Structure 1
Amino acid sequence: MNGVINILKPPGMTSHDVVYFIRKELGIKKVGHTGTLDPEAAGVLPICIGKSTKAAQYLTEKTKKYRANIKFGITTDTQDKHGRVIEQLPVPDMDIMTVKELVECFKGRILQTPPIYSAIKHKGKKLYQYALEGQSVDIKNRYIEIYEINIIDKIDKDEFIMDVLCSKGTYIRTLCHDIGLKSGYGAHLSQLIRLESFPFSIDDSLTLEEVSAAAKNNCLQKFIYPPDLFFQEFDRINIKKSAEKSAINGNPIFTPGLEDNIEAYEEGTMVRLYIGDRFIALGVIGYDACYNKNFIKIKTLFT
């Protein structure tokens, strides 16, 4: 079994819990997720199985879309509703237009400081471990990108629902915290659902119960997506059958082993590699100065 399953992670489970569930349910050791969701968050969690676990490193780079509840007036140490309240301020009845104007400055490429309660590692140790031990850590800012941020509804005088389309590495609870600082009232994340992890949508995701049922009925294969689906932005290059062994051994492939001409490609271009209809690897265009010719260097094998 090889490919990616679009899982709907329920709240109350860690991403690793879901990996363990799939591993046990399918009897497969090679299982991995493509980007951690907080335990209390729900939503799309693509799970790679078999040789497609090698695709996880690329899927984490894809854009994500979230639906988040932001509640003003309460600041917590974890930046969500499960943390300890560190400040509480009275909030007037805020209107949607005011909040829409407030979040506008968070669009684009911005600096964000990851929360101390996170799984990011510092000197080989996860940040939340430092937090639990009461230790302070100098956390480095990093650039993220907010492509879209839209206030879509008001559910209370101080609580709103917003949709956020963002780059990898974005902490939505930190975004809520920073919006709260900008407002002057403070804020935290009160609920989070991941709607998309490109190219997957929550509309097509499977619950864990549905995975179990499909596995028992031997029909899970139809819900498993092939790994090359996620690399459609890269051109397809066909390798000759005679060069298959060389490619699988990770050797560079020169023109005699290719069915397609690659001389027009720039050095460093990523491509998809096929033998017949079988996707076997991602490759990178290299350049041999001695012969003034391009070649393909095998980057990641999927066979």
Structure 2
Amino acid sequence: MMQSGLINVLKPPGMTSHDVVAFVRRLYNIKRVGHAGTLDPAAAGVLPVFIGNATRLVEYLADADKSYRAELTFGFATDTGDDTGQVINSQPYTRPNSNQIKEALASFIGETEQIPPMYSAIKIGGKKLYELARAGQVVERKARKIIIDDLSLVTESETGIVFDVTCSKGTYIRTLCADIGHRLNCLAVMSFLVRTRVGSFCLEQTVTLEEIAANKEQAIQNADKVLTHIPAILLSEQESQAVKNGRSICCMRSGADLVKMYDYQKNFIGIGREICQSEDHTTLTPVKILSPDR
């Protein structure tokens, strides 16, 4: 039986997210590997990696909110928005005080818009922006709606600040650093980034590549760990067989739209959708069935 599940990887700095996927693919000798939420090569932190049939659940984590700890350095700007890029501008600055910094951070909380950086994987006209940037091209990018749930100061120094942020998918912390600097009348770049959380997957529970290689089986978590926000229902043997074969069934209503389905032996089957028929009963339709890999 082929392995299936997910690994809460601690991505090290210096590797791309694709590099991590390639590492897992080679280690487990499995082709079906994917990840949720790309991390910049210089960044570290939480990178959920899915293997086998669990790759079909990536979409359920792709929209999850994320948390980061970032360091911002004042005084210069780069073409990439972080300190790995080429310096394109530098200028003296008056260091903002603590109150100014806190007020600036607070001003970004809520729904706002952000222009993606040129060095990103967003495609325009079939080309990734970073490919165009490396070719010396700069194209107009449309602002995207993002949500910042929390943005708080951790520490400050003469040269910059460290802050924690919780935000929606699609938020570029490099751009946020530059925007914070602009709000404080300073040039600024991101000089350090670690992702501390993706949905329910936290930094404290990650495993390093070395730990994964040392104990491959123990590193894999059950696929349903990605669905902690969805209620669960237990099906009978007959009901389990029906949904595995793609048939809808009539069952007691849970009151949720999507549910995690478990068979009579408490094995995770997949995801179903309830279509209400009455106050107590519903039609449960399979949405995504995770058949065992062969």
Q: Distance in 1 between matches of 2:28 and 2:270?
A: 25
List runs of 5+ in structure 1 lacking aligned partners: 215-219
Q: Distance in 1 between matches of 2:20 and 2:237?
A: 39
Q: Distance in 2 between matches of 1:37 and 1:53?
A: 18
Q: How far is 1:87 from its partner?
A: 1.8
Q: How far is 1:92 from its partner?
A: 2.1
1:160 paired to 2:158: no
Q: Which aligned pairs between 1:99-178 and structure 2 lie closer than 5 A?
A: 99-154=101-156, 156-178=157-179
Picking from 42, 46, 49, the partner of 1:47 is: 49
Equivalent residues of 2:243, 2:249 under 8 A apart: no
Post-superposition CA distance 1:125-162 (Å, at most 9, x none):
211112122333232211111111111112x3131111
Aligned to 2:76: 74
Q: How far is 1:287 from its partner?
A: 5.3
Q: Distance in 1 between matches of 2:48 and 2:193?
A: 17
Q: How far is 1:288 from its partner?
A: 7.0
Q: Distance in 2 between matches of 1:159 and 1:111?
A: 24
Q: Distance in 1 between matches of 2:98 and 2:47?
A: 30
Post-superposition CA distance 1:76-124 (Å, at most 9, x none):
1211111222221211233333211111110111111111110112232
Q: Distance in 2 between matches of 1:138 and 1:295?
A: 48
Give the length in aligned residue pairs: 287
Q: Which aligned pairs between 1:1-303 and structure 2 lie closer than 5 A?
A: 1-154=3-156, 156-214=157-215, 220-251=216-247, 253-255=248-250, 258=251, 261-262=252-253, 265=255, 269-276=257-264, 277-286=266-275, 294-303=282-291
Q: Distance in 2 between matches of 1:142 and 1:301?
A: 33
Q: How far is 1:283 from its partner?
A: 1.4
Q: How far is 1:296 from its partner?
A: 2.1
Q: Distance in 2 between matches of 1:302 and 1:127?
A: 35
Identity across the alignment (%) = 40
Q: Distance in 1 between matches of 2:236 and 2:124?
A: 46
Residue identity matched to 1:270: L
Q: Distance in 2 between matches of 1:57 and 1:4?
A: 13
The structure 1 segments of at least 4 consecutive aligned residues displaced by more than 4 Å after TM superposition are none
